[in-house]
C-alpha cells in the first residue's frame, strides 16, 4: 500500500492549513484532502508535488508492507 508524508511535511515544515498547502502545491483542495486521507495521486501529480516541495518523490511517498 502506498502511503505519504504530506501531513507531516505540511505541519512540521510549512505550518499551513490544508487549504493553504493545497494552494502552495497548486492542486485542488478537495483532492489534497483525499491525499492526506490515503488516496494515491496519479504519478504526474505526485511528481509535481515533489517538485513543488523540492524533495525526491520517495521522501514523500513510500510503500508500507
- Whichever domain contains 43, its CATH number is 1.10.260.40
pTM of structure: 0.91
Contact 61, 7 (CB under 8 A): no
How far is 27 from 32, CA to CA, in rounded Å? Answer: 7
Contact 49, 41 (CB under 8 A): yes
Count the domains in the chain: 1
pLDDT tens, residue by residue, 33-60: 999 999 999 999 999 999 999 999 999 9
How far is 55 from 49, CA to CA, in rounded Å? Answer: 9
Pull the grid cell for residue 34. 483525499
pLDDT tens, residue by residue, 6-15: 999 999 999 9
- What domain range includes position 15? 2-63
Amino acid at each position: 500500500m502506498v502511503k505519504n508524508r504530506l501531513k507531516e511535511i505540511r505541519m512540521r515544515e510549512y505550518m499551513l492549513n490544508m487549504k493553504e498547502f493545497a494552494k502552495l502545491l497548486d492542486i485542488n483542495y478537495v483532492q489534497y484532502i483525499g491525499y492526506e486521507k490515503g488516496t494515491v495521486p496519479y504519478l504526474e501529480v505526485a511528481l509535481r508535488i515533489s517538485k513543488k516541495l523540492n524533495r525526491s518523490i520517495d521522501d514523500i511517498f513510500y510503500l508500507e508492507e
